[in-house]
Amino acid sequence: PGTIRGEIQFEHMYFWYEDELPVIKDLNLTIQHGETIALVGSTGGGKTTIVNLLCRFYEPKRGRILIGGHDYTDLSLQAIQSRIGVVLQTPHLFSGTIRENIAYGRLKASQQDIEAAAKLVGADHFIQRFEHGYDEQVGEGGVLLSVGQKQLISLARAVLSNPEIFIMDEATSSVDTLTESMIQKGMEAIMQDRTSIIIAHRLSTIKTAHRILVIEDGQIAEMGNHAELLKLKGKYYNLYTR
């Protein structure tokens, strides 16, 4: 009871795309409510595919995913969307103001709620510098903003929606160090008491994760916390000490 809310289970999950080459092979994993999981590993290993499946952009070909103890194909898409807050690697905003992009259809969100969410993730700082502040237009897809700024706005949106599960694919490029540290602080604020799955590129994120999973060839190659995996002197060690 109580503790199962944001629990995620993968049971004997298999997945392949149209070409039918196996991408995820017999994934078994239970993520506890409130746990922070970091997914790492070399390119093409299947990290984004796992996130795509969790968001139900795709469904498992075999096996199943349970959210809060329920097979997620028994839940409505709306129910899943309201429980998961996701920040994509290259977030696309819609044409409109910053305020509208943070609220994202949450008509009941007050100005104070929106600004409080932006402050919590550290987005307020750059928003205030725009001529029109929160009413600045972001342009189609958010073209007038950098990738880092779009991630900060997506983080504010995630905070406002107060999801049980937070998923983030960290941006790999074009984020300056100030924005990067803002994003880090924003993530820490969201990850508190929430089940979080982060595709992690920054050591700062990985070090604080409860468990790190090295995903290779659609399977869990190594699992443990930062110190444990370093001690192993295996794949994780090779990825992060060179």
Q: Which residues bind ligand M5T (CB under 6 A)?
A: 17, 23, 41, 43-49, 215
Minimum gap (Å) between residue 206 Cβ and Mg ion:
16
Minimum gap (Å) between residue 10 Cβ and Mg ion:
17
Distance CA 92, CA 156 (A): 14
Distance CA 210, CA 20 (A): 33
Note whether 82 binds Mg ion by CB under 5 A: no
Minimum gap (Å) between residue 167 Cβ and ligand M5T:
13
- Sign for the CA dihedral angle at 11, 88, 217, 21 comes to positive
- Asked if 217 contacts 26 with a C-beta cutoff of 8 angstroms, the reply is no
Q: Which of 16, 26, 34, 48 binds Mg ion (CB under 5 A)?
A: 48
| Rounded-to-10 torsion of CA 192, 156, 209, 63 | 100
The values of phi and psi at residue 19, to 5°, are -75, -5
| Shorter beta-carbon distance to ligand M5T: residue 7 or 222 | 222
Minimum gap (Å) between residue 125 Cβ and ligand M5T:
29
- Asked if 194 contacts 183 with a C-beta cutoff of 8 angstroms, the reply is no
Looking at the DSSP assignment, which residues form a beta bridge with residue 30? 9
Answer with the entry of ligand M5T, Mg ion, none that 83 interacts with (C-beta below 5 to 8 A by kind). Answer: none
End-to-end CA distance of the chain: 44
Part in contact with Mg ion (CB under 5 A); list of ranges 48-56, 66-74, 217-225, 226-234: 48-56
- By C-alpha distance, which of 79, 19, 75 is closest to 49? 19
Looking at the DSSP assignment, which residues form a beta bridge with residue 40? 214
Minimum gap (Å) between residue 170 Cβ and Mg ion:
10
| Shorter beta-carbon distance to ligand M5T: residue 46 or 142 | 46
Answer with the entry of ligand M5T, Mg ion, none that 9 interacts with (C-beta below 5 to 8 A by kind). Answer: none
| Shorter beta-carbon distance to ligand M5T: residue 75 or 239 | 239
Closest-approach residue to Mg ion (CB): 48
| Shorter beta-carbon distance to ligand M5T: residue 87 or 159 | 87
Q: Which amino acid is at 57?
A: F
Part in contact with Mg ion (CB under 5 A); list of ranges 44-52, 61-69, 103-111, 232-240: 44-52
| Shorter beta-carbon distance to Mg ion: residue 39 or 183 | 39
| Shorter beta-carbon distance to ligand M5T: residue 28 or 111 | 28
Give CB contacts under 8 A, 24+ apart, made by 72-77. none
Q: In the complex, which residues of this chain contact Mg ion (CB under 5 A)?
A: 47-48
